[in-house]
Amino acid sequence: MSARTTRIRLFAASTVALAALSLTACQNGTDQGSSAPTATTEVSASPETKPGTDKATGEQNENTSANTNNTGNTKTNDSAQTNEDATTNDNPKSNNATTARTGTDTAAAKPGKCSAADVKITASEVSRPLNHLLLTATNTGSTTCYLPAYPVARFDQAQAVPPVVAASQPQAVTTLAPGKSGYAGVLTSAADGSGSNGYTAKTLTVPFDNGSIATVTLPADGVYVDSTLKVTYWLTSMGEALSH
């Protein structure tokens, strides 16, 4: 083999060796270059855990917010319950107070029995109907009171009192406000003379339900009465009192 041929072969071998080295270097470079993205991937993987963490934190925050809302709702419900309890508790008190006040007002407004101290009774002769007296009871006091059902009239010292005309009974007892009057008619004797045991009475007394007695002044000549003597209930109308 010639020296030239040997050099050519050595050159070729060197070239192959250099090429191999270059290829190895390129491969190493490629491996190194590919490792960088791996690092980058690892670095970028770390941020990926952040959303996870944020999600967990978000869930925690959401749970905290829900708990806060629940607490707020609880407070609201407690407040509502408190208001309801307060309202429920107050209303009976208010109702009781109103009832007590109404009861007191009703008791205060309820009239009592009239008495001879605050009611004056007068007797007047009338032309129509015949043989009749009109009794007028006037409240001279400052409070409202109610009269007895009818005047239990006693003329002179008579042992019996006249009966009442049943047809004259009102629906309620006659009540007198201060200054107001009630009326009762008295049939003193029979117009046709059919009565018996007649006499001329000079005095008249009318008792009240509380035990007091009113003395009624009669006309100076007195009033003739007989067995037909009768009275009406106390009424609020003068005309009605004289219609029986």
- Mean pLDDT, residues 5-33 taken together: 54
Tell me how crowded residue 219 is: count the other CB atoms within 10 A of its CB: 11
Task: Evaluate if residue 113 carries a pLDDT over 60.
Answer: yes
Q: State the DSSP H helix or E strand holding residue 92, giving kind and residue range, or none if neither.
A: helix 3-109
Quote the pLDDT of residue 238. Answer: 96
Nearest 5°: the CA angle 182, 148, 188 is 70
Domain segments of the chain as ranges: 1-110, 113-241
Give the residue from 169, 120, 174, 118 showing the smallest Cα distance to 146.
174
Task: Evaluate if residue 47 carries a pLDDT over 60.
Answer: no
* β-bridge partners, 207: 213
State pTM to two decimals. 0.58
Quote the pLDDT of residue 141. Answer: 97
Task: Evaluate if residue 52 carries a pLDDT over 70.
Answer: no
Quote the pLDDT of residue 110. Answer: 85
Q: Which residues contact 158 (CB under 8 A, 6 or more apart)?
A: 201
Yes or no: is domain 113-241 CATH 1.10.3470? no
